[in-house]
Amino acid sequence: MVDLSLLSQAIDGGDREKTVQLTTEALGAGTNPQEIITQGLQAGMAVVGEKFSNGEYFLPDMLMAARAMKAALEVLKPSLEETGIPTIGKVVIGTVEGDMHDIGKNVVATFLSGNGFEVFDLGLNVPVQNFIDEVKEKKPDILGMSALLTTTMPVMSKVIKALEEIGMRSSVKVIVGGAPVTQDYANYIGADAYAHDGGKAVPACRKLLGK
């Protein structure tokens, strides 16, 4: 049994090698990958965020933690994606323009593809027009947008307005998320759903499709 607080500490220390080693051990010991993410990796990231807020950490510390977390997610990806579930819907997802945070969006995308959704990941810093073009081209059931900065949250509203302007709002369901995003904000901008984390994004997307 791997103590997941050690994993949080490895993320906090930006120690990629240790993070990968502990993630591999936890997985090998049968720990649920979702638990490894929330109780180990994400918990560590929360500490990094707090330390950045209070001036104890700087940008390079966040970058090192991010690299460690990305490496750990690569270890977890195959088990999160192992599924015999037939495709239940198509999702286009991305982090909005101006925002370089993609770890949480990647977690959500991996959870969705591991739970039977066909996912088209547009990456990070995605301009409004790219979301629109992809909705036109891929005709997804769901459009997912992630924002980690209070300054980039309004871009999600711009995408929804752009969909309205071209008469495509009713052809796609919109789900939003990211640390500063709330259910109230989702309601305010006219999104169809909000999910607090990757685990909750799966039932939220299923619900949007009535499945």
Tell whether residue 149 is a contact of ligand B1M (CB under 6 A): yes
Contact indicator for 103, 177 with CB cutoff of 8 Å? no
User: Applying CB under 6 A, which of residues 45, 80, 155, 160 lies at the interface with ligand B1M?
Assistant: 45
Per-residue binder mask for ligand B1M (CB under 6 A), 118-147, x = binder: --------------------------xxx-
Tell whether residue 103 is a contact of ligand B1M (CB under 6 A): yes
Q: How far is CA 38 from the centre of its chain?
A: 12
Of the ranges 22-30, 79-87, 156-164, 169-177, which one interacts with ligand B1M (CB under 6 A)?
Answer: 169-177
Q: Which residues contact 63 (CB under 8 A, 6 or more apart)?
A: 14
Tell whether residue 66 is a contact of ligand B1M (CB under 6 A): yes
User: Applying CB under 6 A, which of residues 20, 43, 46, 71 lies at the interface with ligand B1M?
Assistant: 46
User: Applying CB under 6 A, which of residues 33, 40, 89, 177 lies at the interface with ligand B1M?
Assistant: 177
Helix (H, G, I), strand (E, B) or coil at 188: helix
User: What does the buried/exposed string (b/e) look like for 55-90 if buried means 16 or more CB atoms within 10 Å of the residue's CB?
Assistant: eebeeebbebbbebbeebbebbeeebeeeeeeebbb
- The amino acid present at 93, given as its one-letter code, is I
Alpha-carbon gap, residue 112 to 89, rounded angstroms: 10
Interface residue list for ligand B1M (CB under 6 A): 42, 45-46, 48-49, 52-53, 59, 62-63, 65-66, 93, 98-105, 107-108, 144-146, 148-150, 175-180, 195, 197-198, 201
